[in-house]
Chain A
Amino acid sequence: MEREEMLRIFCVGVGGQGVLLATRLIGEAGLLAGISVSMSEVHGMAQRGGVVESAVVLGERSSAVLGEGEADVMLAFEPLEALRALPKCHSGSVAVTNTAPIPPFSVTQGGAAYPSIDTIVKIISREINRFYAIDALELALKAGSDQAVNVVLVGFLTSFMENLGKKIFPSKDLLLAALRRTVPSKIFDTNRLAFEFGYNEFRKLL
């Protein structure tokens, strides 16, 4: 696939889903692995239900701001936002999305229509060869918290990147070490479990 010396990961979701923490986990793990890593976030009105985007770049690339067609990997926390962010990807990208929708206000109040999950998956699958849609919310709830969707997705992505032979992506051990450093100790066990569920979910799909 693309050159191994760099990997650009674009994360997108909705305020409150822990998008920034997930991105940071990958970054912290990259730092533990001793590779060059940078990240960019857009904060702002995240808490008020808006879209949250962030990117983490591993390896030989200076900027973590991704333009159109620059994401090698898209990690989406919400299916509609996965679809909206598709132009960030290119014909060689890989992608993962959570399938649990968070309908925006314009939909819940009865004006706009939320595209069906099938439609979303179909459109993204047409453009991206290796694309996985998983119910990360269900796995997070199984691990003990709806707040752990982000870590489920990082677990899934870790396994996926291993499978693709992406050596630049940090190992499971380093991600768990980063998790321990990053989340408060009282929620570490739930998050570790969420990570394992995500990690194993990918292996089941093989």
Chain B
Amino acid sequence: MKELTSNETSTLFMLGNEAIVRAALESGVRFVSAYPGTPSSEIIDRMYEIRRETGVRVEYAANEKVSMETAAAVAMCGVRSLCSMKHVGLNVAADAFMTLAYVGVKGGMVIVTADDPSLHSSQNEQDNRFYAKMALVPMLEPATPHEAYEMVKEAFEISEKYGTPSIVRTTTRINHARGVVKVGEYRKIEGEIKGVFDKDPFRYVVVPMVGRRLRVELLERLRKLEEVSEKSSFQIIRGKGTLGIITSGVSYLYVEDAVRDLGILEKVKILKLGMTFPIPRKLLQDFLSEVESVLVVEELEPYLEEAIRIVAQESKWAGKIAGKEYIPRAFELNVPLVRAAISRFWGISYKPRYEAISPSVLPRELPQRPPNLCPGCPHRATYHEIKRIFGSEALYPTDIGCYTLGLLPPLSMADFLICMGSSVSTAGGFSVAQDRPVIAFVGDSTFIHAGIPALINSVFHDHSFLLVILDNSTTAMTGHQPHPGASMTREGLCEPKVRIEEIVRACGAKAVEIINPIQVKRSCETISSLRDSMEKNPGVYVLISRSPCPLLERRIVKKARRIVFRVNETCDGCVRCLGELACPAFYKEGDRVQINPLMCIGCSVCAQICKSIKPVKLH
């Protein structure tokens, strides 16, 4: 971590996200705001960890829209700001983003959007390059951590010079790649983070009259940015051949390796676009005129391909253009895929030195290893208790967080999910359009992110469901980031700034109950009486199931384990514990269940559902 704030230039082996942090610091960023989301989270996390050394104000925002608006206001005062988010985060921020492009900024403002081809940890694989095109905002696309470092610096310069936010669009293979980065000098900026906001309401208050004028200015700015793109040093041409390849981002690396493997370095001419919005049309025209045919190599949508087809049509270029009919549109690319596409398009034969080992040598069915709720996770207890009272027949809309893992059998406590906060609003819709009882699950951080307007909406419209807020006092899945209602940060315990129970009461829920799910009997009684009330008097009910994430709690409280649980000789082998709790610490030995003492954290939930499970003191 020290490396991130070292003053000198040096060569480091850095994570893409760390390279982005370093570049922002060198660029004089004073304000960073983000809602965490894989693969972008390390940007805000590292910034947060070093905030005291750097004097940068770092805010974990309630959601991406809030982060973008806050950062925009800071930039509007001439102070450089950064906000980062995963690809779907930009959907949340899109309302702010589209019109911020009109209003522009005074100080440099960089938006990092981290796309996730192959959906390593996301619900979709949308291609956020179209956001730049839709908002007419300049976009840079790095291929390596070092390029991410250089491009963030350039993005700040472009932003400030042309008065527009800039996008740096990464993918998982940039954010979570490690590479050699040559960093420059960094000087901490001393003093308070204060700029100046010059009032100019007929420029900054976007009523239609102002918006119309800004729209025209936006198009004028676009023409200037087109010039920037034409001349950008990030548009790189390699080779002198007549087989043209146009690519961007991490796909460029696959192209380089594939071309080397195929031994066609002399035959190809590669255009690697680093600035992919605005599209450098003249540069593309010139490139096309020097090659006979073109293969466009890009992940996800045919974003470049469509632009190139337009340029070809405008310049009456008659060569063959190929893209998505050779390059897969779904999921990440890699060297073999790109090599095969090049080989097929130009009929270049390739004999690998070694054969890949065929998956057919493996046994037909290897046991899968899906991620799982941790031993002692309070979500497991809540799911058990809700299921005991409402059964499998109820409808369970869920949300985004660790608890989404409740999807997996035997818990099977998830029926519908589309995005952050959707549990609450879809529960309302389901309660209108079908007859099963509806119980929605949402995490504490996710509730604050996007659940509150939905809850108010359901109260307003007399929807009928139980909202279970799984409050583990942290944003666990993305790495334990704090949120306004959290009582723990990675640095220790804290008082929550906002109390979730007060919010839900103020939203008008019919009843709000709080349980500690680790107390099974008492929790079941509360849930059962909630069910009775819901039957008698339908409406929106809220249950806050509150117990801290044990992973984080153990780390910050450093509480030693005092007891673990053990199955004694009275076990009759009913394996109900496996079917109902499925704690990873359980294992089956013969017909009976045992508990792995190394994994058991002593939460006691299993002992409350089975008399044969007893505590053992640790010494």
Contact = CB atoms under 8 A, between A and B. Distances in A.
A48 B583 CA distance: 12
A84 B357 contact: no
Given A70-B336, A108-B588, A40 B173 contact: yes
A40 B175 CA distance: 9
Contact of B13 (A24, A44, A62, A128): A24
B13 A90 contact: no
Contacts of B252: 62
Contacts of B374: 47-49
B473 interface: no
B352 A69 contact: yes
B588 A110 contact: yes
A104 B599 CA distance: 13
A165 interface: no
A113 B356 CA distance: 27
Contact of A49 (B172, B178, B369, B588): B369
B216 to A, nearest CB: 43
A63 interface: yes
Given A69-B357, A105-B582, A14 B575 contact: no
B201 interface: no
A106 B362 contact: no
B547 interface: no
A188 interface: no
Given A63-B334, A105-B370, A36 B361 contact: no
Given A24-B178, A43-B38, A109 B587 contact: yes
A160 to B, nearest CB: 19
Contacts of B336: 67-70
A42 B355 contact: no
A37 B575 CA distance: 50
Contact of A115 (B178, B179, B366, B405): B366
Interface in B456-500: 477
Contacts of A80: 366-367, 369
Contact of A45 (B13, B121, B582): B121
B39 interface: yes
Interface string B315-359: 000000000000000001011110000000000000011111111
Contacts of A68: 336, 356
B266 to A, nearest CB: 17
Contact of B254 (A27, A63, A128): A63
A135 to B, nearest CB: 17
Nearest to A113: B367
B337 A67 contact: yes
B588 A109 contact: yes
A38 B352 contact: no
Contacts of B361: 86, 123, 126-127
A176 interface: no
A83 B332 contact: no
B367 A40 contact: no
A105 B369 contact: yes
A104 B372 CA distance: 10
Interface in A71-105: 80-81, 83-84, 86-87, 89-93, 103-105
Interface in B370-428: 370-374, 402, 405
A47 B12 CA distance: 26
Given A63-B250, A105-B582, A48 B362 contact: no
B176 A40 contact: yes
A36 B370 CA distance: 34
B584 to A, nearest CB: 6
B365 interface: yes
B176 to A, nearest CB: 5
B373 A106 contact: no
B261 to A, nearest CB: 10
A62 B253 contact: yes
Contacts of B578: 109-110
Considering residues B13, B253, B368, which has the most beta carbons from chain A within 10 angstroms of its beta carbon? B13
Contacts of B402: 48
B206 interface: no
Nearest to B256: A62
Interface in B141-190: 144, 172-173, 176-180
Contacts of B332: 65
Interface string B248-266: 0010111011001000000
B354 A87 contact: no
Contacts of B13: 24, 27-28, 31, 37, 39
Nearest to B143: A62
B120 interface: yes
B367 A104 contact: yes
Interface string A24-66: 1001100100001111111111011111000000001111111
A83 B368 CA distance: 12
B367 A114 contact: yes
B495 to A, nearest CB: 27
B208 interface: no
B363 interface: yes
A15 interface: yes
A117 interface: no
Contacts of A92: 353-354
B11 interface: yes
Contacts of B310: none
B257 A108 contact: no
Considering residues B173, B177, B367, B371, which has the most beta carbons from chain A within 10 angstroms of its beta carbon? B367
The 6 closest A-B pairs by CB, nearest first: A69-B356, A45-B371, A110-B588, A50-B371, A112-B367, A67-B334
Given A2-B354, A24-B178, 6 more contacts: A38-B177, A43-B121, A83-B366, A89-B356, A91-B355, A107-B367
6 contacts: A39-B13, A42-B172, A67-B336, A87-B362, A90-B356, A123-B362
Interface of B: 11-13, 38-39, 120-121, 144, 172-173, 176-180, 250, 252-254, 256-257, 260, 332, 334-337, 352-359, 361-363, 365-374, 402, 405, 477, 551, 575, 578, 582, 584, 586-588, 596
